Homo-oligomer: A and B are copies of this chain.
Amino acid sequence: MKASGSAGNAGRIVTLRDVAKLAGVSVATASKALNGQPQVRAETRTRVLAAAEQLSFFPNALAQGLIGQRTGTVGLLTSDLEGRFSIPILMGAEDAFGSGQTSVFLCDARGDAIRERHHLRALLSRRVDGLIVVGARPDTRPSLGRDLPVPVVYAYAPSDDPADLSLVTDNVGAGRMATGHLLDCGRRRIAHITGDPAYGAAQDRAKGTLDRLAEEGLELAGGQVWFGMWSEAWGRGATRMLLRRSPDVDAIFAGSDEIARGVLDVLHQEGIDVPSQVAVMGFDNWAILAANARPPLTTIDMNLELLGRLAAQRLFAAIDGTLGSGVESIACRLVTRDSTAPVG
């Protein structure tokens, strides 16, 4: 596997070896990670992909050979009403091969099967090379079936057909990551306030949290996971209940940045300092909510742009019939701001 030259790298050709070195893995592992082979751990794959991106490394076959035989156009079929998760995935897919090489056409099906079929026909009749299907929520969704003329990658929400290829967020790992950060800050009485328990993501993040606490011999402050809604109002209500039951809580991990904003609001009302008395974490790294909070929120970023890039690379690689199947997990990353800090 050779690399395409990168203009930004002073003329030197970036090789797979450079990527492996930067990622701190063997060349064989880097190759497996870039080719989407399943025996690579999510964190490792994410690290290799980030290194490849940082070095502007694109395998020749993808960057030049394959894309030349295609129209360079991908359809993105979403049911994510607010565009909140779809837009970064769209951007990542467009950036998979450098600026101006791919166009992504986004169509919003709004969770309506009839509308989805309509958009699907419109996209297919316009010769898109492949489809990325983004669910409204990170739970299994129906497959579009196996009789489509172009490859399909399911992103964010996995397909219910294991023969399809789905790229999803490692939510269990994300729960572990958030909890690990709070433990690193010296917190021991950690509570978890999260959204709708019908969401697989809420369950998975809670599982990661509980697993990581158990490794330290700890239990959740407040004695339970506080499941509710994905809203600020729930963040406020749950925090009031939590403070009554466990006034000595020293950290709250919220299942979304919205919930975290509600948590912060009640802590301010109660005169509890963040982060010196209680550390607070969100989830999503939704800048408008997280970066502008008082104090700015430490949160978890789902690496959705990376997920979009990977989805586009898998689609274009499928021209020679190598579209994989199964579910690939993408690791999240920690974004630290002022709402968490070591215990003074």
Contact = CB atoms under 8 A, between A and B. Distances in A.
A292 B292 CA distance: 15
Contact of A126 (B86, B126, B232): B126
A91 B108 contact: yes
A183 interface: no
A114 B73 CA distance: 16
B258 A292 contact: yes
Contacts of A289: 288
Interface in A105-152: 105-108, 110, 112, 114-115, 118-119, 122-123, 126-127
A9 interface: no
Interface string A248-266: 0000000000100110010
Contact of A105 (B99, B107, B112, B294): B107
A293 to B, nearest CB: 8
B114 A100 contact: yes
B103 A118 contact: yes
B112 A292 contact: no
Interface residues on A, range: 35 or more
Contacts of A100: 114-115, 118
A231 interface: yes
Nearest to A72: B122
A99 B109 CA distance: 10
Interface of A: 71-73, 81-84, 86-87, 90-91, 94, 99-100, 103-108, 110, 112, 114-115, 118-119, 122-123, 126-127, 231-233, 236, 258, 261-262, 265, 268-269, 288-289, 292-294
A292 B233 CA distance: 7
A259 B90 CA distance: 28
Given A83-B83, A126-B126, A106 B103 contact: no
B90 A108 contact: yes
A233 B295 CA distance: 11
A35 to B, nearest CB: 28
B99 A119 contact: no
A107 B104 contact: yes
Contacts of A99: 112, 114-115
Contacts of A91: 108, 110
Contacts of A94: 108
Contacts of A232: 292-294
Contacts of A236: 294
Contact of A103 (B81, B107, B112, B293): B107
B73 A82 contact: no
A89 B288 CA distance: 21
A82 B86 CA distance: 10
Contacts of A71: 122
A269 B100 CA distance: 48
A265 B294 contact: yes
